[in-house]
Every structure is written in structure tokens, then in C-alpha cells.
Amino acid sequence: MPINGTTKPARLSEWENKSYIKPEAELTVPITPSLMTSFETIVFCMDFASNLTIYESNSIELREKNKVKISVPNPKAISASQNYFAVSYFGPLKKEQSKGIWKNLPNSGVILFTRQEFVVCSIHDKIIDLSRNNESFKQPTGIMN
């Protein structure tokens, strides 16, 4: 794009052309997304109860591809990469949350789930403890890949 701004970026022109074809789109979602992120053409939406819905964006509309319950206590932010889906969390666990696989969970951290395209494994792959030996990560509110 020239510095004087007389030529539009190719992506903007492409978006303008597509918006003339279908100027508005409607999507009914099964959950109210509280946390959202994307990787390439895949959009991830999660509520605070850890219900994850995965969509594919074809630049005109979103198409639902998969749903999964991943059961992360107190999720605060999500991120995705080629091979992983990550959820940061913090806060003291409620009594019912500190059972089973979460009974030894650190107070704050990032939980990594293996991912392949539209499928996120519901069993975590790794937990990164942010509360141990690092005072600045006691309450993470965001995450990026």
C-alpha cells in the first residue's frame, strides 16, 4: 500500500466485494461466548462453564464444526496454536472443583490441550504452574500464542 493511502489493501477490497454479496449474516450459537480466540480460519468460543464451540470461518460466515466440554475451573482466557488449545485460569478452587484430576491443581496456571484442526482433546496434555516462584503470575487474565 502506498504511503499516501490512495490504494486500498487487497484484504480490504476483498472484504468489500464479499460484503456486497452477503452484507449480513446470522448465526445461532449454543452457548454465550465469554472467551474467544482464533487461529487461521478457525474460531474458538468458550463460556465460563468450559463449553467450547469451534467454528470455521470461510470469510463470509461461520460454520459450526465441533463442540466439547473441557472442564477447566475458573477459566480466564483462551488461545490456540497449530497443535494446542490453551486456557489460563486462577482462583481458589471450590470444594466440588478440587476433586479427581483437579485435586492437586495449582492456584493459577495454563492448561494445554492437544488439538488437531477442529478437534480439541477433552483431557489436558500439560499444566503450566504460574503461581509457583513467580509473584507476578498469581492472577493471569490473558494469554497469547
pLDDT tens per residue, range 43-77: 999 999 999 999 998 767 788 999 999 888 889 99
Q: What is the pLDDT of residues 81-104, one digit of tens each?
A: 999 999 988 866 666 656 666 667
Contact 112, 83 (CB under 8 A): no
d(CA 80, CA 48): 17
Instruction: Report the predicted TM-score, pTM, of the whole model to 2 decimal places.
Output: 0.73
Do residues 63 and 70 touch, judged by C-beta distance below 8 A?
no
Classified as helix, coil or strand, 61 is coil
Instruction: Please say whether the dihedral angle defined by the alpha carbons of residues 119, 111, 141 and 102, taken in this order, is positive or negative.
Output: positive
Task: Output 8 or 42, whichever has higher pLDDT.
Answer: 42
